[in-house]
Amino acid sequence: WWMLTNIDTAVGAETFSELHLFSAPSPVGAEWVAHPMNPVLVDPQFARNAGMLKDGEKLFRVSQERAFGSYGVSASISEITQLTSTDYREALQVTLHPKFRSRLTGMHHFHSAGGVSVWDHKRWERVR
> For the segment 57-83, what is each residue's pLDDT rounded down to a tens digit?
999 999 988 776 667 778 899 999 999
On the CB side of 69, how many CA atoms lie within 13 Å of its CA?
A: 2
In this prediction, the residues of the chain whose per-residue pLDDT falls under 70 are 9-15, 68-70, 123-126
pLDDT attached to residue 90: 97
* Residue among 62, 57, 69, 48 nearest 92 (CA): 62
121's torsion region: left (phi>0), alpha (psi -120 to 50) or beta?
Answer: beta
Q: Using the 8-state DSSP alphabet, how is residue 11 labeled?
A: T
pLDDT attached to residue 69: 67
pLDDT attached to residue 11: 67
* Residue among 100, 90, 101, 97 nearest 53 (CA): 90
pTM above 0.75, yes or no: yes
